[in-house]
Amino acid sequence: MRCLVTGGAGYVGSHTVLALLDAGHDVTVLDDLSTGHLRAVPAQAAFHRADLQDLAATRTVLATGPWDAVLHFAGLSEVGTSMKRPYHYLRANGLMALNLLEACAEVGVKRFVLSSTAALFPGGVVGEGATPAPHSPYGESKLFIERSLKWAERLHGMRHAILRYFNAAGADRQGRAGEDHRPETHLIPRALEAVMGGRRLRLHGLDYPTPDGSCVRDYIHVNDLAAAHLAALDFLEERSLTCHVGSGHGFSNLQVLSTIKRVTGREVPWERAPRRAGDPPSLVADARRLQAATGWRPLHTGQAALDDIVRTAWAWRQAHPHGYGMERSGQLVRLGGELG
C-alpha cells in the first residue's frame, strides 16, 4: 500500500514507518519537525515538511496521492503540559486532525489509523467496553478526534482503526531508531539518562494507593506497537476497529527502576518529587479485542517484556548518547520532497 504517516519523524511514528517499509509498503512522512527528528526518518521514505494546522499545506501534501491509507501520529502528547496549557492542546490537536480528515475526504482516502491514548480513562484496568472519561485536555483532544472519525466513516466511507496506547517504550530491536524527546518526560529514557551521568531522576509521587506507593503503568514495546498498526491496517479491509494496545501487565515506577538496575548493572540516581496533575495511580490495558480481531500479540509478556524494553532502550542510548544528535528540528533539510 501507499501510506502517508503524519508525525513519522517522532518516536512511535518513526518505528511504525520502519515496520511499514519492512513489510514492503511505500511510505511518505509528513512532519513539521517541531518535536520530531529528520534523522529518525529512514532514507527509503519520502518526506514532506508541513504543519497540519495549515489546511492549505495539508491539502498540498494529500494532493500528491493517491493514498491507500493515512496513519496519524502528529500532535501534542504530554498530559502534564496539557493541564497547564489546556486550550493550546485542545486547539492544536483538534485543528490538526480536522484539517487532515478534511483533506483525506477530499482525495478519497478510505483507511485511517489513529494514534489515540489510554489518557481517555481515569485509571485502573481498562476494559475494552470502558466509557472514555478524560482527566486531562490531552485526553479530551484525542476523544474529539475519535468522535470526528465516526463522522468521516458515516459521511465519506473512511474506515478507521483507533488504537488507544498505554505506555510505549524501548527502541527498535535492530537498533535503527530510538526514543529522543526534547525535553524528555518519559520514565525509562529519563532513568537511563540519569544512569549515564545526567541529572538525577525525579520520581513523581510515592504516595499513590498502589503496592509500593509509585504509579503503575502498562508498558508496550514500541516495535510491538508498530506491529499493531500494521495488523489494524490490514483489518480495515473488513471494517473499522477501536481497541486498546498494551501488554495487560502493570509495573510500578519502582519496579521499572529495579529492572533498569538489573539489566544495566547500574543504580539509577533518583529523588522524590511531587505528584503531577492528571496522573492516575494505575493504568493497565485489556487488549484482547485487538488480539482476537487481528491475531496480533506482543513478542514478550510479563517481566520478559519489560526486560526487552529496557535492554533495547539501553542499547540505543549507549550507541546514541546524544539521541539523534544536537541538531534542532528545523536545521536539517532533506532535498527533494520537502515543503515549506
Report the catalytic residues: 138
CA distance 51 to 100: 10
Please give the helix or strand (H or E) that residue 112 lies within, else none. strand 111-117
Grid cell listed for 86 = 489546556
Grid cell listed for 236 = 480495515
The answer to whether 81 and 63 are in contact (CB under 8 A) is no
Beta bridge partners of 270: 201
Grid cell listed for 178 = 530510538
Strand order in the sheet with 2-6: 46-49, 26-31, 2-6, 69-72, 111-117, 159-165, 241-245
Instruction: Give the count of beta carbons closer than 10 Å to the beta carbon of residue 261.
Output: 15
